[in-house]
Chains A and B, each alone.
Chain A
Amino acid sequence: EIVLTQSPGTLSLSPGERATLSCRASQSVSSSYLAWYQHKPGQAPRLLIYGASSRATGISDRFSGSVSERDFSLTISSLEPEDFAVYYCQQYGRSPWTFGQGTKVEIK
């Protein structure tokens, strides 16, 4: 099983600041089959990034993804009030498909 470790657990930032979230895989993730989701309480998770760096339909260009070997990153260039949420990475290249434990981005 591929274990995804997200850091930090919580990120306290102010609107307008830049957020960088990390996701490290315990093994190589095939063909960058790595996604990022945003999840707010009481809502459905929302796909932000797939293939490590491709934005999903309708997602603001404030969100960007990158990869370096087994290290994946999600960057939010300038936080808007609606961006404060929990973010999960997920690998879908090898069963069982696994999620990271999540990073909460909270208002400082």
Chain B
Amino acid sequence: EVQLLESGGGLVQPGGSLRLSCAASGFIFSSSVMSWVRQAPGKGLEWVSTISGTSGSTDYADSVKGRFTISRDTSKNMLYLQMNSLRAEDTAIYYCAKGRFYALDAFDIWGQGTMATVSS
């Protein structure tokens, strides 16, 4: 079964850090484009970051550039999002998502999400 399972969310103070993880199974992780998408409370979906399957090139939304780092460990089928210098506006459910086939493609598999709350 194709599956994504996020973990690592929690409560952190402004300026703090969190590392989110996403365990992938049921598909060829090493060649898949993987992304993080978030949803703030009461808001819509917002793309956060993407990492390519082959070159490992990365891309970020302006709102997180310089603070968040996406990475992957293909030996463990794991995707990560290191979040530093967190702000209240980063409070959201964070979903990991798999690109369908190509470098530019829709997200065909999503995890259930993990909640990150930034508050003092």
Seen from chain A, the residues whose Cβ lies within 8 Å of a Cβ on chain B are 30, 33, 35, 37, 39, 43-47, 50-51, 56-57, 88, 90, 92-93, 95-102
Task: Check: B76 CB closer than 8 A to any chain A CB.
Answer: no
Q: Given A43-B112, A45-B95: A35 and B47 within 8 A (CB)? A: no
Contact in complex: A56, B108 (CB < 8 Å): yes
Query: Which partner residue on chain A sits nearest B63 by CB separation?
Result: A96
B108 to chain A: which residues have CB within 8 Å? 47, 50, 56-57
Q: How far is the CB of A21 from chain B (nearest CB, A)?
A: 14
Contact in complex: A102, B105 (CB < 8 Å): no
Partner of A44, one of B46, B61, B104, B113: B113
A30 to chain B: which residues have CB within 8 Å? 104
A51 to chain B: which residues have CB within 8 Å? 106
Partner of B47, one of A93, A99, A102: A99
Task: Check: B100 CB closer than 8 A to any chain A CB.
Answer: yes
Query: Which partner residue on chain A sits nearest B62 by CB separation?
Result: A96
Instruction: Enumerate 30 A-B pairs (CB-CB under 8 Å) in ascending A order.
Output: A33-B104, A35-B107, A39-B45, A44-B95, A44-B110, A45-B37, A45-B95, A45-B107, A45-B110, A46-B110, A47-B100, A47-B106, A47-B108, A56-B100, A57-B108, A88-B45, A90-B45, A90-B106, A90-B107, A92-B105, A93-B104, A95-B59, A96-B47, A96-B59, A96-B61, A98-B47, A99-B44, A99-B47, A100-B44, A102-B44
Q: Given A44-B95, A44-B113, A45-B95: A35 and B106 within 8 A (CB)? A: yes
Task: Check: B111 CB closer than 8 A to any chain A CB.
Answer: yes
A99 to chain B: which residues have CB within 8 Å? 44-47
Q: Chain B binding site: helix, strand, loop or mixed by DSSP?
A: strand
Partner of B107, one of A33, A47, A93: A47
Q: How far is the CB of B17 from chain A (nearest CB, A)?
A: 23
Q: Measured between alpha carbons, how far is A101 from B43 in the docked complex, in Å?
A: 8
Interface centre among A44, A99, A102 (most CB of B within 10 A): A44
Q: How far is the CB of B74 from chain A (nearest CB, A)?
A: 23
Q: Measured between alpha carbons, how far is A102 from B40 in the docked complex, in Å?
A: 13
Q: Measured between alpha carbons, how far is A57 from B107 in the docked complex, in Å?
A: 12
